């Protein structure tokens, strides 16, 4: 790996302002999914080190929350500047440890940095209220204060943005944070922590727990009484487990969980735009995102034409090494991910689906899978109800607007959805009818630091990004002043 600043590649983790190893010296390797080569090695921490990190965050809390919002913003702005100055190195680390195409990694490095900049400013706007009184001798006020020590657990697929989207608002609000990044992609988190340290964050304000055994660490974070807030992005199954753990001490919980995003193309849509939107949504990060198009519904009258154009466009996507500038589809994150994709495709084919392009492991080997389009997919196939998390696009046929809405909503998930249509009345009806926290209308790309990110039903609780994301880390306190 060629980095402009090689010191950003860490072999120790960051706790209480210090770079440390595991108590017993244990470590685990982080490997490149494209070729199995070791990218780096990081400490393999357990419950004891996690407790010390939580204690460190607790010690740092009084001084950090006592700072003015402007002073906290100053440190965050310095962090943002350093992140932007090191975009290329962050992107290189990210691509090598989890396989994201380098062009997308550069985009994520900027995207993740944007959250820090946004919340540096938004933290200064945690306004309270003055309530018109019911009694002339009293004054009624509401203030908003930091919730306390935060435990953040983040996934591998966006190893910078999923951290900054949680950490930046927490720090801006005056909270301190313990972060457990995914075991597949801890190196990006450590690089970000290094830059936060250089920006002048006080010791203990930000702590990173690297581990190859997330269950006991997650158990400690979700049950330790010092932790007042859990912010988790990951699977619905794990989210439910953490939520149950957090109930023991009635922690505040934000959960961004699984998705099963529908992408609907109506017969009055701009078909060429819909094809490009579907590609942008489905194949970003090789299909490994919680908001990517998982079920593509096409109205019957245009189904065959759309399928032909879509498959032709998809077949030209370049599969290759993540660090190659020409690559559009990289490897899947690990062997388990590859086998899951293969199993879902096999199930669909056995139940009658057809293949327009792809459909098997790629000739590059390792964890590469061909860019795939399945046709004539039906609701009894596993791809209809399970997240694919790979470069596989299943196409479904529908007849009417009401049918499309019903099919799209026929899932326990409700994170993101997309549709392409021309008629304004249809746009309003479908937007209101879809049971999702986020809807892309005539676009396949919806993410920005400016909007509230989150879902409904079993896709989670709470919102990240925008001013709503700051509120997740603030308590509302009512003050009643008498004797006036």
d(CA 321, CA 35): 9
Burial-class residue 70 by CB neighbours within 10 Å (0-12, 13-18, 19+): exposed
- Per the residue annotation, which of 108, 122, 290, 370 is the catalytic one? 290
d(CA 346, CA 296): 18
Is residue 174 left, alpha or beta, with left meaning phi > 0 and alpha meaning psi from -120 to 50? Answer: left
DSSP for 217-271, please give it. Answer: HHHHHHH-TTEEEEEEES-HHHHHHHHHHHHTTT-EEEEE----EEEEE-TTS-H
Task: For residue 229, list its beta bridge partners.
Answer: 150, 252
Phi, psi angles (nearest 5°) of residue 367: -105, 20
**Does residue 256 have an active-site annotation?**
yes
**Does residue 175 have an active-site annotation?**
no
- Per the residue annotation, which of 183, 220, 256, 464 is the catalytic one? 256
Residues 180 and 214 sit within 8 Å (Cβ to Cβ): yes
Q: What angle do CA 297, 299, 303 make, to 5 degrees?
A: 85
Residues 401 and 266 sit within 8 Å (Cβ to Cβ): yes
Task: For residue 180, list its beta bridge partners.
Answer: 153
Residues 56 and 16 sit within 8 Å (Cβ to Cβ): yes
Q: Please list the active-site residues.
A: 256, 290
């Amino acid at each position: 790996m060629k980095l402009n600043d090689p010191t950003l590649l860490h072999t120790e983790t960051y706790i209480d302002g210090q770079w440390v190893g595991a108590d017993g010296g244990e470590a685990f390797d982080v490997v490149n999914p494209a070729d199995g080569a070791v990218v780096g090695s990081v400490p393999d921490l357990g419950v004891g080190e996690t407790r010390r990190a939580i204690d460190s965050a607790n010690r740092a809390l009084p001084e950090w929350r006592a700072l003015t919002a402007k002073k906290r913003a100053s440190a965050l702005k310095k962090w943002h500047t350093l992140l932007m100055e090191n975009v290329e190195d962050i992107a290189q680390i990210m691509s090598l440890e989890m396989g994201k195409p380098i062009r997308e990694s550069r985009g994520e490095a900027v995207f993740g940095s944007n959250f820090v900049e946004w919340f540096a400013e938004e933290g200064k706007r945690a306004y309270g209220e003055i309530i018109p009184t019911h009694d002339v001798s009293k004054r009624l006020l509401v203030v908003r204060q930091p919730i306390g020590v935060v435990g953040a657990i983040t996934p591998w697929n966006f190893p910078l943005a999923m951290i900054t989207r949680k950490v930046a608002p927490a720090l801006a609000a005056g909270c301190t944070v313990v972060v457990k990044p995914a075991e597949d992609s801890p190196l990006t988190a450590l690089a970000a922590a290094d830059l936060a340290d250089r920006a002048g964050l006080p010791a203990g304000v930000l702590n990173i727990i690297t581990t190859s055994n997330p269950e006991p660490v997650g158990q400690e974070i979700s049950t330790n009484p010092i932790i007042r807030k859990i912010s988790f992005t990951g699977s619905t199954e794990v989210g439910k487990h953490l939520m149950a753990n957090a109930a023991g001490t009635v922690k505040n919980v934000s959960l961004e969980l699984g998705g099963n995003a529908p992408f609907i193309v109506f017969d009055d849509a701009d078909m060429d735009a819909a094809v490009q939107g579907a590609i942008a949504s489905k194949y970003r990060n090789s299909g490994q995102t919680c908001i990517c198009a998982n079920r593509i519904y096409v109205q019957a009258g245009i189904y065959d034409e759309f399928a032909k154009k879509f498959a032709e466009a998809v077949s030209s996507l370049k599969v290759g090494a993540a660090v190659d500038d020409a690559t559009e589809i990289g490897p899947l994150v690990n062997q388990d991910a590859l086998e899951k994709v293969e199993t879902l495709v096999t199930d669909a084919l056995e139940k009658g689906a057809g293949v327009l392009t792809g459909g098997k492991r790629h000739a590059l080997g390792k964890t590469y899978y061909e860019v795939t389009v399945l046709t004539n997919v039906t609701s009894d196939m596993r791809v209809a109800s399970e997240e694919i998390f790979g470069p596989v696009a299943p196409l479904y046929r529908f007849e009417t607007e009401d049918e499309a809405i019903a099919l799209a909503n026929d899932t326990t998930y409700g994170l993101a959805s997309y549709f392409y249509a021309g008629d304004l009345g249809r746009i309003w009806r479908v937007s209101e009818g879809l049971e999702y926290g986020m809807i892309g209308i005539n676009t396949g790309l919806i993410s920005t630091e400016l909007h509230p990110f989150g879902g409904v039903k079993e896709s989670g609780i709470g919102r990240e990004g925008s001013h709503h994301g700051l509120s997740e880390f603030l308590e509302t306190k009512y003050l009643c002043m008498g004797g006036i």
